[in-house]
Amino acid sequence: MLKLNVKNETSRLRAVVLGTAVSNGPTPKAEDCYDPKSKLHVLAGTYPLEKDMVKEMEALANVFKKYGVSVFRPKIIKNYNQIFSRDIAFVVDNKFVKANILPDRKREYNAIQHVIDEIDPINILTLPEECHIEGGDVMPWNDYVFVGTYSGKDYPDFITARTNKAAVIALQDHFPNKIVKSFELRKSNTNPKENALHLDCCFQPIGTHKAILHKNGFLLEEDYNWLVNYFGKANVFEINKEEMYHMNSNIFSISENIIISERNFTRLNTWLKAQGFIVEEVPYAEIAKQEGLLRCSTLPLIRD
């Protein structure tokens, strides 16, 4: 049995589900894309190739191996995108929460059934149908659970709006001992530089008290200001619109002092090293073209 435990984003990682790019399928049609960035690359003829993405994910798997992390992979579904395991479920404390995601993506959850079978059924939560939620919007942070959401009346018009208010309320009910703090995100179906697909596209806590932030990802200035005040201005690394577009906040922590980052994130990686972090740099720029990066393709199960 897997003894689930995830209290925050940075405690020492012991077990993780890492997505797969094997049998990823052909380049989608522009009108079938779930996000504006993928669509942009389809139209430009620069959509990533399976062989390149497989190579990138293996580089990440090798870092996990180096640090002795147990890695689970999904069962391969032929011609199907299974890279972003973060979307399909998430762990808070010892609970495994099934995400209510875009209906087209239900098969991704079934592909990790062999992992779910290792979890005590009492610890598996399924939220009511009206709760829309994806793991990229959910960040356990000790006493808090930070959640990215969109509650505009035009929610149904945005394929990029993934987590709704009903889900935030349900999480608070399930975790009464936590403060579930939600943040309104900026959404766009057409402009990837104006779209925070998930909370981890514009924010991520690192270490014990630092954070990466992109101001424009937040719809309300007060939400952004709350985070700056919470972490302290001196502890925040601000990324610009271009860096947000390349997913600079979507890195992944193996521990409080070891961070996996994309090798092209020069400004960020330089800052991280100056702060004393060990930075494991991997190539992940092809996967980034689908508006997801390192955090999006990992689903932590156990952290110390």
Q: For 272-294, what is each residue's pLDDT tens digit?
A: 999 999 999 999 999 988 878 99
Q: What per-residue confidence (pLDDT) applies to 192? A: 67
pLDDT confidence bin for 242, thresholds 50/70/90: very high
29 lies in some domain: yes
Q: For all residues of the chain together, what is the average pLDDT?
A: 93
- Please check the confidence at residue 161 and state whether its pLDDT lies above 70: no
d(CA 138, CA 3): 20
> How does pLDDT run across 7-41, given as a tens digit for each residue?
999 999 999 999 999 999 888 888 888 777 888 88
Taking residues 153-164, what's their average pLDDT? Answer: 71
Q: What percent of the chain has pLDDT over 90?
A: 78
- Please check the confidence at residue 156 and state whether its pLDDT lies above 70: no
Residue 137: count other Cβ atoms within 10 Å of its Cβ.
Answer: 30
- Please check the confidence at residue 85 and state whether its pLDDT lies above 70: yes
Higher pLDDT, 28 or 98: 98
**Residue closest to 207 by CA, chosen among 178, 185, 231:** 231
Q: What per-residue confidence (pLDDT) applies to 105? A: 77
- The one-letter code for the residue type at 153 is K
**Residue closest to 211 by CA, chosen among 194, 177, 235, 242:** 235
Q: Are 201 and 217 within 8 A, CB to CB?
A: yes
Higher pLDDT, 1 or 28: 1
Domain range holding 271? 13-303
- Please check the confidence at residue 47 and state whether its pLDDT lies above 80: yes
- Please check the confidence at residue 177 and state whether its pLDDT lies above 80: yes
Q: What percent of the chain has pLDDT over 70?
A: 96
71 lies in some domain: yes
227 lies in some domain: yes
- Please check the confidence at residue 191 and state whether its pLDDT lies above 80: no
6 lies in some domain: no
- How many structural domains comprise the chain? 1
41 lies in some domain: yes
d(CA 219, CA 196): 10
265 lies in some domain: yes
94 lies in some domain: yes
The alpha-carbon radius of gyration of the chain (Å, integer) is 18
> How does pLDDT run across 67-76, given as a tens digit for each residue?
999 999 999 9
Q: What is the CATH number of the domain that holds 73?
A: 3.75.10.10
> How does pLDDT run across 245-265, given as a tens digit for each residue?
899 999 999 999 999 999 999
- Please check the confidence at residue 97 and state whether its pLDDT lies above 90: yes
Taking residues 167-188, what's their average pLDDT? Answer: 94
- Please check the confidence at residue 189 and state whether its pLDDT lies above 80: no
7 lies in some domain: no
Higher pLDDT, 168 or 35: 168
